[in-house]
Chains A and B, each alone.
Chain A
């Protein structure tokens, strides 16, 4: 069965520090992978997506993610966290005819 696992329901970093949010998927078909972000009291919006064109994908607000087939991972990173990055981040997978989401990781950024 297809699934998406996000390691860590909460991640806390200091402003200026590296952000690393982990996502692993399990699937028997080639995946399309996404990261969505939900800012407080707002709807979900796309951060970036992987569609097999390039393994390193750049998104909005300085975020990027690398698809590693051997590790079935699609971790999200940002070199330097900003206070405005505080939000909930969802990894998502489309491998068939529906999109499934991970449980989400809430990112806290400390001043």
Chain B
């Protein structure tokens, strides 16, 4: 597509419920990132996918968080048993590739984000 699409744009849920957030990256982009943006916290890295390599999950805050990327394209971030502290904007970004060398300079294109509110 023309840009990175995220859905839903807004999600209100009750504490303890599971939520799924979807990201559709730019066609052909092999690298996909999830970040969390909380008020005053900047952008917190969550997880990164690069092609068919094993994802870098080092930023996931707990085992309630998981993500998958099917067919090297669409990604879903799942939060189980949501807590109030999970309330934030979840941003997805993609780039043509990632890593060192010439590819390391690739720019991230961000989606508009999914705003999650846990009551």
Q: Is B42 within 8 A of A98, CB to CB?
A: no
Q: Is B98 within 8 A of A98, CB to CB?
A: yes
State whether the Cβ of B65 lies closer than 8 Å to any Cβ in chain A. no
State whether the Cβ of A29 lies closer than 8 Å to any Cβ in chain B. yes
Interface residues on B, range: 20 to 34
Q: B56 is contacted by which of A90, A98, A101, A103 (Cβ under 8 Å)?
A: A98
User: Which A residues lie within 8 Å of B62 (CB)?
Assistant: none
A sample of 29 inter-chain contacts (CB < 8 A) reads A6-B42, A32-B104, A32-B105, A42-B112, A43-B91, A43-B111, A43-B112, A44-B43, A44-B91, A46-B108, A49-B107, A90-B43, A94-B104, A94-B105, A95-B104, A97-B56, A97-B98, A97-B99, A98-B33, A98-B48, A98-B98, A99-B33, A99-B98, A100-B45, A101-B43, A103-B40, A103-B42, A104-B42, A104-B43
